[in-house]
Chains A and B, each alone.
Chain A
Amino acid sequence: MAQSAQTTEAAQAIAAAVAQIDLAVREVQSPVESLGLLIDQMSTGLGNIRSAGRRRSVNPDVIAVFPDEFDRAVDKLQKQVEGSITQLQFYDRLVQHLKHIQDYLSGAAGELASRSTADPQAVDVWNGLRDRLRTRLISEAQRQLLDVMLPPPEGADFDSGQARDELAAQGSVELF
């Protein structure tokens, strides 16, 4: 009876953690969208500056101060906007990673709430949940961390080297 109560509490604790992750992701969504909008505006502004730069060949008075420095500054700003676009995508990766963790935790909480820990079938369910999470993780580092924290069941053979070889690099492009 005491174990059953503990199991229920554990399930509730996990469900609470899942809800907190969800809230954290939702709270940061709006600022990140604003950041995206700022990058959008910078990119548009940059386009306008470039257009103005092109017009100076027609009317040198439009932008008459140090044309070389102007070009260098615009190029530098362009690189910075492009860098911002690449870096902001790591937020998307974070959200995706957290969603997979939430799914895993929700599944674990559901199992705790509905099964007795003595149930022999429970082992398969836990292993199934772990396998699903491992498959959905999006980087080798994430998978290695899972293997360390929650080692695969005896007999399971995860070849991390092979998995790494099969993974395409971030930012890679392949045309079929």
Chain B
Amino acid sequence: MPRILAVDDSPSMRQMVGVTLKSAGYEVLEACDGQEALDLAKGQAAVDLVITDVNMPNMDGITLVRELRALPHYRGVPLLVLTTEASAEKKMEGKAAGATGWVVKPFSPDRLLATIARIVA
């Protein structure tokens, strides 16, 4: 089953994303900010998808996307941004950094899973 890295500084959000993904049978890795996620990635953690928040301490989600895209083994990995940020400007920033898609919180579990199935397939 595909393995997904969920990155969010909010424990309750990580929990909700985790519950949703696990209910569909995905294996879930968690990181509480961009830096921890990047450390996991640099430690050769192989994942099929990264779902990241934007506003986080230590390293924000847009920077994480940019840093992950610079890693050879993450160039082809889909990077989905899951955030309360809804402005077109922020979204374009994410796209320019290399994000695969943008989901605005609060997410609906079935819609998120349908999107993931499309990306990871």
Contacts and interface: CB of A to CB of B under 8 A. Distances in A.
Interface of A: 29, 32-33, 35-37, 39-40, 43-44, 46-47, 81-82, 85-93, 95-96, 138, 163, 166-176
Interface of B: 10-13, 15-16, 18-20, 22-23, 55, 84-89, 91, 95, 99-112, 115, 118-119
Nearest to B14: A36
Given A39-B15, A168-B104, 16 more contacts: A46-B23, A81-B23, A82-B109, A82-B110, A88-B16, A89-B16, A92-B84, A96-B84, A163-B87, A166-B88, A167-B86, A168-B88, A170-B105, A172-B86, A175-B101, A176-B100
Nearest to A40: B19
Contact of B16 (A36, A46, A171): A36
B111 A173 contact: yes
B111 A89 contact: no
Contacts of B13: 89, 92
